[in-house]
Amino acid sequence: MAEILPLKAWRYADALTPKMEELTAPLFDVVSARQRQLLYENPLNSIHLSVPQGADPAKNALETLEKWKSEGIISQDLKPGIYVYYQYFRLPGEHDERCRKGFIAQIKAYEWSDEVILRHENTIVSAVNDRIDLLKITQIQASPTHALYEDLDEQLEKYMDEAIANPLYELEDYQGVREVMAVIQEPEIIQYFLEVLKDKQVILADGHHRLEGAIEYRKSMKGELSEQKWKGHDYHLMYLTNTSGNHLKILPTHRMFYGLELAAEDLLEKIKEWFDVKKFADSEELGGYAFHKPHTFGLVMGEESYTLQLKAGMMGHINLHLPESIRQLDLTVLHEVLFARILGIAVAEQRNSEQIVYERNFSRCIQEVRSGKASFAVITRELELDQVLEVCRSGELMPQKSTYFYPKALGGLLFASIKQDEFDFDYGSFFK
């Protein structure tokens, strides 16, 4: 099913290896505006390719890319490889270090209908269009999307463990995660990776917008380069991790709402028609609240905070047309009841609503509400991996920004070109 290929990665010059912590960049939506500004101040940081600025961002990225190539800031590996990528991390309060093991390769940008890459959440249209424009003009991918595959026998782990003992890079990222990358270039081992993945479906964990952009770009190039067996525009950069024996952690993404036209007390009365509402003593403590019961949320509004639990029997009035794997999700209830029925924003319109903002940082939610910028914040609980897998297999979609897989893959460790003369290789030599 899943056709993957090794890649001839573009990487920062060896002389810059000691500065990799200054050159890599997290995903744009997981850091604050202040952190992003620091990244932009470094003229060699990879953010200038992944999220360029200016009146014509894609053109600016292309100019930066060409400059870096001509000046030797980045250079292309001569041989294709599978890039092993381990992330060592601790969660708050933990002593033992976790390790998420995976590898970065190219995967064909399958259409969703092919059911090779399974998605689990909706995307935001404007963000997809931006990704298409950037890919079309620069022909470079600066950060991998993240997907999961299932291999209970853990057939690839021994090769990854051997490779990671001789890393290309080892650095600490913006969250204190230890990022380690190595490369496998032995043809027979690469062939084995391709063999193991060929019968797998992969489940997209992170990067729905970037992958959807790649899919649309591939469709737009249909019929081009017909003489080429392996076409760069057909492929997408992806970080693949095994669901088995791995430290996969999903953190919650909270919701903030701006521009509320109702009075706060009127909104609360409407909420009480659907939810049992209890006052919560201290908003600062909501971030650590367990939310053990299903369909339970925290609400921060003004100086007050509350817990909300869907009333018994109310599920019988919600989305009866949906499969249970979707209908029973906390976020399905939240988006259908609070945003659609109470606030009047249809579910289909919520994807593009400027009033709903998605925020993983609990403290920032509190700050936005207390400052009066946000009308209120809804504090959510994390999803379980089994829930995500069940949704993917159902073919249905969760509300946008439903999952936050932690830690995020770092951008700038390598770059993947889909420009044909840089992509070209006899990839058939890696297939049996």
Average pLDDT over residues 357-362: 88
Q: Given a cut of 70, is residue 216 above it in pLDDT?
A: yes
The mean predicted confidence, pLDDT, of the chain is: 90
Q: What's this model's pTM, rounded to 2 decimal places? A: 0.82
Residue-wise pLDDT for 296-313, tens only, equals 999 999 999 999 999 998
- Give the pLDDT confidence score for residue 83 in this predicted structure: 98
Range with lowest mean pLDDT among 9-18, 192-201, 249-258, 387-396: 387-396
- Give the pLDDT confidence score for residue 246 in this predicted structure: 63
Residue-wise pLDDT for 140-196, tens only, equals 999 999 999 999 999 999 999 999 999 999 999 988 899 999 999 999 999 999 999
Q: Which long-range contacts (CB under 8 A, 24 or more apart) does 164-168 make?
A: 164/84, 164/86, 168/11, 168/17
Q: Given a cut of 80, is residue 295 above it in pLDDT?
A: yes
Q: Given a cut of 70, is residue 43 above it in pLDDT?
A: yes
Distance (Å, whole) CA 359 – CA 175: 16
- Give the pLDDT confidence score for residue 227 in this predicted structure: 84
- Give the pLDDT confidence score for residue 320 in this predicted structure: 67
SS3 422: helix
Domains of the chain: 4-250+406-430 (no CATH), 253-381 (3.30.1760)
Residue-wise pLDDT for 245-288, tens only, equals 767 777 888 999 999 999 999 999 999 999 999 999 888 888 87
Q: Is the CB of residue 376 less than 8 Å from the CB of residue 260?
A: yes
- Give the pLDDT confidence score for residue 108 in this predicted structure: 96
- Give the pLDDT confidence score for residue 187 in this predicted structure: 96
Residue-wise pLDDT for 222-240, tens only, equals 888 888 899 999 999 999 9
Confidence label for 337 from pLDDT (cuts 50, 70 and 90) = very high
Give me the torsion for CA of 54, 58, 63, 65, rounded to 10°: 120
Distance (Å, whole) CA 17 – CA 171: 10
Distance (Å, whole) CA 169 – CA 10: 14
Q: Given a cut of 80, is residue 375 above it in pLDDT?
A: yes
Distance (Å, whole) CA 404 – CA 386: 14
Q: Given a cut of 80, is residue 200 above it in pLDDT?
A: yes
Confidence label for 122 from pLDDT (cuts 50, 70 and 90) = low
Q: Given a cut of 80, is residue 396 above it in pLDDT?
A: no
Q: Given a cut of 60, is residue 126 above it in pLDDT?
A: no
SS3 158: helix
